[in-house]
Structure 1
Amino acid sequence: MAHSTIAVTLSQQLFKRTTVLFPHSSFRSRSLLPSSSSSVSFSPNFHTPLSSSSSSSFALRASSSSSSSTSSTAAMGETIAAVDAGMDAIQRRLMFEDECILVDENDRVVGHDSKYNCHLMEKIEAENLLHRAFSVFLFNSKYELLLQQRSGTKVTFPLVWTNTCCSHPLYRESELIEEDALGVRNAAQRKLLDELGIVAEDVPVDQFLPLGRILYKAPSDGKWGEHELDYLLFIVRDVKVNPNPDEVADIRYVNRDQLKELLRKADAGEGGLKLSPWFRLVVDNFLFKWWDHLEQGTLGQVADMKTIHKLS
């Protein structure tokens, strides 16, 4: 094996269960760029906890010895498989596969980390991890807003009601594009298909209107939470919806009055109904005013992508 080669052998089974995605090389952070030495040991920006109660990172070591690489990789697989054994298998896979985009409070990209680490309150508080996110508000031609109830298997905020789709652009070339928030819009199109079965043809990326950005922090329980710089995207389309039960427990379209009734029930704690914290922040600060402009055809007048609203 040539001295300049870094060999990391992953078994087929490891790829199926615990694949870690490395983004396009042109977008790797500097800490991931190997030196010219024949044997390199490095710690990626993502860290895999060694146990459910610890967020310690492990170093992925690559050397010129293929047997050593295979042994290290096998150990990595065993470690990941042992983490949060009670977690839904699909959600656990996404927690380790998905690489969120880390940003500073001015929305400048500073690196990337696993979805798992980005949602551990221990790491959020200790390292001030802040990641980029998006929230889609999809309306039909009657200007009714599509809401979803998150699946009970979701790691953060299970079974809460929220806006149409809430997720993260990933650390990949197509979703890092800054111009006109194209990367975020690409991610929104991808997740509408993943979560709600809405095909790309029904939600063209050029039909998403970015209206603003919010920065918030919200704990989900004693372990998990959110710390996001969230892009708010509006779109008006009549779509066919086929929810993915691994992501979505229920859906409904609501008009203004129906949404106000949901807010009342959530505030009163009726029927255990809960709303996601980011959705409630948008409702309380922007939604009804933007809804008026949407119906009046003047929504573009209130778009403000320069300001980052810090909400709590």
Structure 2
Amino acid sequence: MEELVVLVNPQDEILGLMEKQQAHINGLLHRAFSVFLFNDKGEMLLQKRAANKYHSPLKWTNAVCSHPKSGETYLEGAKRRLKEELGIETELSEKFNFIYKADVGGGLWEHELDHVFVGNYDDDFNLNKDEVEEVKYISMQDLDNEMSENPENFTEWFKIILEEYKHHF
């Protein structure tokens, strides 16, 4: 089934719908959300994208990143993708939103009005292997070290969103 994204202007007013891959080829601004999850030790959950993803396969990124469906709120979309990708449910709170544009290779662009949510989770996962290769928790210090030593191992948007996250906290 064709997956559509919600095209918007910078004020988050809906301009229409477009097939997801086409929106990424054209670099058009669309709605997105990102979820940062932490355990009780304050470590951040990272997911490694599945090998079959059409862009950025086998790269580490935050817990969940995706797009709300038409008629779905950002929070509803974030909770849906937590269930679909990681097989979990947890409370989330929205922390901020911002617009970014990132070249993700292969002629594809992420140009998103991204709403960033934060939550805590300390239980088991039921990973959807079509979406997620593996997950791990990492301290912020170790994450900073790993990102500076091996930036190619991380998604382009995660690098941008993580920097924006740090400015807010």
TM over 0.5: yes
Q: 2:110–2:157: 8 Å Cα contact kept in structure 1?
A: no
Q: Answer 1 or 2: higher relative contact order, Cα 8 Å, separation at least 6.
A: 2
Specify the code of the residue in structure 2 equivalent to 1:229: L
Within the candidate set 3, 6, 12, 1:107 is matched to: 12
Within the candidate set 108, 112, 136, 1:252 is matched to: 136
Q: 1:214 Cα deviation (Å)?
A: 1.9
Q: Does 1:116 align with 2:15?
A: no
Within the candidate set 196, 199, 222, 2:106 is matched to: 222
Give 5+ residue unaligned stretches, structure 1: 1-18, 20-95, 176-182, 268-272, 291-312
Within the candidate set 144, 159, 164, 1:280 is matched to: 159
Q: 1:149–1:159: 8 Å Cα contact kept in structure 2?
A: yes
**Cα distance between partner residues in 1 of 2:125 and 2:158:** 21
**Cα distance between partner residues in 2 of 1:186 and 1:239:** 21
**Cα distance between partner residues in 2 of 1:116 and 1:250:** 24
Q: Does 1:233 align with 2:117?
A: yes
Give deviations 1:194-220, integer Å, cap 9, x for gaps: 11111xxx31xxx31111112111122
Specify the code of the residue in structure 2 equivalent to 1:192: L
**Cα distance between partner residues in 2 of 1:139 and 1:250:** 16
SS at match of 2:146: helix
Q: Does 1:197 align with 2:87?
A: yes
SS at match of 2:105: coil
Q: Does 1:168 align with 2:74?
A: no
Specify the code of the residue in structure 1 equivalent to 2:157: W
Q: Does 1:186 align with 2:41?
A: no
**Cα distance between partner residues in 2 of 1:289 and 1:110:** 29
Specify the code of the residue in structure 2 equivalent to 1:280: K
Specify the code of the residue in structure 2 equivalent to 1:148: Q
Q: 1:289 Cα deviation (Å)?
A: 5.9
Q: 1:188 Cα deviation (Å)?
A: 0.8
TM-score (norm 1): 0.51
Q: Does 1:136 align with 2:35?
A: yes
Q: 1:241 Cα deviation (Å)?
A: 0.8
Give 5+ residue unaligned stretches, structure 2: none
Specify the code of the residue in structure 2 equivalent to 1:260: D
Counterpart residue number, 1:41: none
**Cα distance between partner residues in 1 of 2:142 and 2:168:** 16
Give deviations 1:72-121, integer Å, cap 9, x for gaps: xxxxxxxxxxxxxxxxxxxxxxxx2x22111101111111111121111x
Q: 1:288 Cα deviation (Å)?
A: 7.4
Higher helix fraction: Structure 1 or Structure 2? 1
TM-score (norm 2): 0.91
SS at match of 1:220: strand
Larger radius of gyration: 1
Q: 1:139 Cα deviation (Å)?
A: 0.9
Q: 1:282 Cα deviation (Å)?
A: 2.5
Higher strand fraction: Structure 1 or Structure 2? 2
Q: 2:93–2:118: 8 Å Cα contact kept in structure 1?
A: yes
Q: 1:140 Cα deviation (Å)?
A: 1.4
SS at match of 1:170: coil
Question: Is the alpha carbon distance of 1:289 and 1:215 closer, same or farther for their aligned partners in structure 2, counting shifts above 3 Å?
Answer: closer
Q: 1:139–1:235: 8 Å Cα contact kept in structure 2?
A: yes
Question: Is the alpha carbon distance of 1:289 and 1:185 closer, same or farther for their aligned partners in structure 2, counting shifts above 3 Å?
Answer: closer
Q: 1:155–1:224: 8 Å Cα contact kept in structure 2?
A: no
